[in-house]
Amino acid sequence: MPGLDGEKMSKSRNNCIFLFESEKEIKRKIMSAFSGGQASIEEHRRLGGNPHVDMAFLYLKSYFLTKKESEDVSERYSSGAMLSGEMKNMLFEKVIERINKLKEAYEKVDELYKNAEMGNVRLYFSIWNLGETVGVFDKHRKTTDPKLSTQLLLSESMKLLVAGSLSILDVSSDIITHSIDLVLKHHIYIADALQIATARKIQTGRFATADKLLSEIAEKEGFKVIKLKG
Amino acid sequence: MPGLDGEKMSKSRNNCIFLFESEKEIKRKIMSAFSGGQASIEEHRRLGGNPHVDMAFLYLKSYFLTKKESEDVSERYSSGAMLSGEMKNMLFEKVIERINKLKEAYEKVDELYKNAEMGNVRLYFSIWNLGETVGVFDKHRKTTDPKLSTQLLLSESMKLLVAGSLSILDVSSDIITHSIDLVLKHHIYIADALQIATARKIQTGRFATADKLLSEIAEKEGFKVIKLKG
């Protein structure tokens, strides 16, 4: 996906949207995105816009709209019925909605960590999660520094480990044995099965996840699921 | 992907090709595949075939040909220049070629296991591989029985474990720590990094894999790679 200006996405070009930007800054970025509209409203109504080069439309299509909705919007834009400003506003609203959901999830994780720091809850996770999370950081290396994120993750985890509010479990043969049963039973990925098998091993009744499928399977397996998705 | 008859792929319909079938049986199956050709050669030359419903063409397109090659073949078939028999022969040759490569790889793995059984080599793998392999079995549950395959895998592994020719390593925090370094260095998946980190931990100089990318990275990391791909 290119950045909002249609060029390669990059931190230095500042052509992407970040989670903790102000609404004002996000609005500014979206409103100055590369547009496929005409120079004036009159011309736009007469000639129509070009959705194929319109960055707001491309983002809407890729991240927010169903196929049917995309086709509708594309048609209305091409015919001139829909203006560039309306397209950008639609994207802005969708982005804010998504960001608010993400922030909610973020706050839930934050709360969980704070509760752990205060010694109210004890967190457990598989050593596998640590590696998987770094994999996600690395995948987004174009927009964030994976080494810095990894250091933060490790130092935060270390803080909790030292305080005794976090335990990290190795992937041992008994956990894999149970994971294998779960893979064959629910047809899920081994990495997902591992989460549930790890929770089973520590004999907790609670299971926190942001993943919809995983949360369903965990419920089927009798866990009380803490949903980290907003 | 549908089976060779255009219906849903299934063991009971026997409409898929298996690795250890005879060439004769494979030929028979491909030759009786659902075809988009005309009733007679004369008609085919005159009217051309329909590649969109021709199973041999769909298999060629999906598994064997480049986009350019597919377009060429599709055109020659539609125009009547290429006959159904020729299409099926092309698929047959590609299938046999692929199967021979797979058999070669299979034999290399087999040899490795036999050498281990005789005590000539000692094999090591991460407990993770066991789970991942079962995940692959489960993914192909429409054509093979994942529980049976898993039992076989476990019993074969157990035999070597008992004989002391195989060690299975847990995913421990030191292995994940090293894996994280490898992810950030080579931008590979954590599951791939884990293989190399495990090999590093047991201080072997040799690394066996069927994966092309993994074999390149292992070589960069100084391992002598045993390529399991034919």
At A229 the pLDDT is: 75
Residue A114: in which H helix or E strand, if any? Answer: helix A84-117
B129 and B69 both lie in a single domain? no
A127 and A223 both lie in a single domain? yes
Cα–Cα distances (Å) from B45 to A150, B73, B87, B154, in that order, read 64, 15, 14, 55
ipTM of the complex: 0.70
Cross-chain residue pair B180–A127, CB shorter than 8 Å: no
| Chain A residue with minimum CA distance to B151 | A180
Low-confidence stretches of chain B (pLDDT < 70) are 230
At B97 the pLDDT is: 92
Residue B96 contacts A, CB cutoff 8 Å: no
Interface subset of B 21-60, CB within 8 angstroms of A = none
A116 and A127 both lie in a single domain? no
- Is the pLDDT at A39 greater than 60? The verdict is yes
Q: What is the dihedral of CA B69, B70, B72, B73, to 10 degrees?
A: 110
Q: Does residue A53 sit within a domain? A: yes
The domain tally of chain B equals 2
What is the average pLDDT score of chain A? Answer: 91
What is the distance between the alpha carbons of residues B131 and B73, in angstroms, rounded to a whole number? 41
Residue A128 contacts B, CB cutoff 8 Å: yes
Give Cβ neighbours of residue A86 (< 8 Å, ≥ 6 apart): none
At A6 the pLDDT is: 78
- Is the pLDDT at A176 greater than 80? The verdict is yes
- Is the pLDDT at A230 greater than 60? The verdict is no
Question: Any idea which of A10-14, A40-44, B24-28, B69-73 has the lowest mean pLDDT?
Answer: A10-14
B107 and B16 both lie in a single domain? yes
Give Cβ neighbours of residue A121 (< 8 Å, ≥ 6 apart): A112, A115, A165
Compute the nearest-CA separation of A124 from chain B (Å).
14
A43 and A128 both lie in a single domain? no
At A79 the pLDDT is: 96
Q: Does residue A25 sit within a domain? A: yes
Cross-chain residue pair B190–A141, CB shorter than 8 Å: no
Q: Does residue B4 sit within a domain? A: no
B134 and B190 both lie in a single domain? yes
| Residue pairs spanning A and B at CB distance below 8 A | 75
Residue A121 contacts B, CB cutoff 8 Å: no
At A218 the pLDDT is: 96
Q: Does residue A6 sit within a domain? A: no
What are the pLDDT digits (tens) for A78-135? 999 999 999 999 999 999 998 888 888 888 888 888 888 888 989 999 999 999 999 9
Report phi then psi at B16, rounded to 5. -130, 170
Domain carrying residue A93:
12-120
At A20 the pLDDT is: 74
Helices (H), strands (E): how many in chain A?
Answer: 10, 4
At B230 the pLDDT is: 54
What is the distance between the alpha carbons of residues A198 and A175, in angstroms, rounded to a whole number? 6
Residue A17 pLDDT class (50, 70, 90 cuts): confident
Q: Which of B120, B135, B152 is the last residue of a domain?
A: B120
Identify the residue among B132, B170, B187, B188 best suited for mutation to test binding to A, counting A beta carbons within 10 A and taking the highest.
B170
Cross-chain residue pair A173–B168, CB shorter than 8 Å: yes
Query: Could you tell me the pTM of the whole model?
Result: 0.73
